[in-house]
Structure 1
Amino acid sequence: MLHDQDPFNAYKQTSLNARAAAANQHEMVRMLLDGLMDELARSQGHIDAKQYEKKGNSIQRCINIVHGLDSMLDLENGGEVAQNLHQLYDYCSRQLMSTSMKNDSQMLDPVVKVISDVREGWQNLN
């Protein structure tokens, strides 16, 4: 709820909601990838700081974003690219769960690499 947040976070969330509402599918994927990269960095920080409750919430947000990206794939018409992305997103989800169980921030490195590569490829499409 917005009243539970400080005013800056409330503004930030409102701004993000407005951008998402106006975004086309390409912009939405870009926003999700950017948000995922930000959340991965937060997850890493929470693990390193031994803030395990915050880590759990952050990792769950990462998994939710990855599932959101995966759900946007057109597996019937997207060909090999969609299938490859589906496999990468599945790998990222499994790696995120393992990272959360082991509380090892270095286990996030391959996820960061995969998502960085996907993000770079996505940006080159536009």
Structure 2
Amino acid sequence: MFTSVNSRAASAYKRVAAETSVQGADPHTLVGLLYDALLQSITQARGAMSRGDIEAKGAALGKAVRITEEGLKAGLNLQQGGDLAANLQQLYSYCVMRLTQANLRNDTKALEEVTQLIEPLAQSWQQIKGRGPTPLQPLTGRGA
């Protein structure tokens, strides 16, 4: 029940490193971090499903839904993003629905579907760094 000092130290280091990378990141990098965290949460949920760990599965999928809703979807600028932002909003809503279904039904195929939808976006997002405006705008720029 107790964790080793090394384990606690490693966990604290990872937490600080993540907080530091988020605090110093530009909006483009933040979206990339959200995609990475979303895919990681889906992977954790898949592993929890295979182990039969209901609590871990629920936590991982809850995190994935929050990242999608509160991070990716909420960051869209529908006024300036046009059709691309509207399409991403619909895609994110669909992903949230599939993640919820995956949680309710222990459906690994739904997790795979969301992964197949998000991975190309994450890869494309990495490639467009520095190519001009995107359909996303910094949250601080919207009066948040």
TM norm structure 2: 0.82
Structure 1 segments, 4+ long, off by >2 Å, are none
Post-superposition shift, 1:106? 2.0
Equivalent residue, structure 2, for 1:37: 39
Partners of 1:92 and 1:7 in 2: how far apart?
35
Post-superposition shift, 1:96? 0.3
Number of aligned pairs? 122
Post-superposition shift, 1:124? 2.0
Q: What is the correspondence of 1:31-110 to structure 2 with a 5 Å cutoff?
A: 31-67=33-69, 68-110=71-113
Partners of 2:110 and 2:32 in 1: how far apart?
24
Greater gyration radius: 2
Partners of 1:107 and 1:49 in 2: how far apart?
17
Question: 5+ unaligned residues in a row in structure 2: which ranges?
Answer: 1-6, 130-144
Q: CA RMSD in A?
A: 1.1
How far does the alpha carbon of each residue in 1:16-66 deviate from its partner, in whole angstroms, 9 at most, with x for none? 001100001000000110111111111100011110011001100000110
Q: What is the correspondence of 1:102-121 to structure 2 with a 5 Å cutoff?
A: 102-121=105-124
How far does the alpha carbon of each residue in 1:66-115 deviate from its partner, in whole angstroms, 9 at most, with x for none? 01111110011110110111011001000000000001222201100111
TM norm structure 1: 0.93
